[in-house]
Amino acid sequence: MQERRYQARLIRLIKKAYPGALVLKNDPNYIQGIPDILVLYGNRWGALEVKQSLRAKRRPNQDYYIDLMSQMSFAAYICPENEDEVLDALQSALRINRAPRFPKSK
């Protein structure tokens, strides 16, 4: 699956799992390396850098911003191979008491 298509599917999945959340797609040309998606939920947030696969090349500054934003709240690389694990970690970071169930990847 192309990264662009995966990212669009992931955004729909998160919006469905967290009604009322703001799921923002960041402009890759604004700050090089900022994660692709920002999820705002209540007074918590998480950032996701979308990759096509675990082997996909990381761009300059991506590791820096993932590390920095992880110290602030939550940030991670996400791809189809680690989707369930990362979405579970995001759910934990957002401290959601009622556990929404993400549909399993196909």
- Report the CATH number at residue 18: 3.40.1350.10
Domain boundaries, position 67: 3-93
The answer to the question of residue 101 being in a domain is no
pLDDT digits (tens, 9 = 90+) for 2-31: 989 999 999 999 999 888 999 999 998 999
In a domain, 28, yes or no: yes
CB-count exposure of residue 60 (10 Å: 0-12, 13-18, 19+): exposed
How far apart are the C-alpha atoms of 90 and 69, rounded to whole Å? 13
What mean pLDDT value characterizes the chain? 90
What is the reported pTM? 0.87
| 75 occurs within a structural domain | yes
The answer to the question of residue 54 being in a domain is yes
With respect to residue 104, please indicate whether it lies within any of the assigned structural domains.
no
Output the pLDDT for position 105.
56
Residue 32 counted as domain residue:
yes
Give the tens place of pLDDT for each residue, 32-57.
999 999 999 999 999 999 999 999 99
49 CB-side CA count, 13 A: 25
So what's the pLDDT on residue 104? 59
Q: pLDDT value at position 96?
A: 64
Is 35 domain-assigned? yes
Instruction: Report the DSSP beta bridge partners of residue 31.
Output: none
Higher pLDDT, 1 or 43: 43
Whether residue 99 is contained in a domain is answered as: no
Which of the four pLDDT bands, split at 50, 70 and 90, describes residue 1? confident
Number of domains in the chain: 1
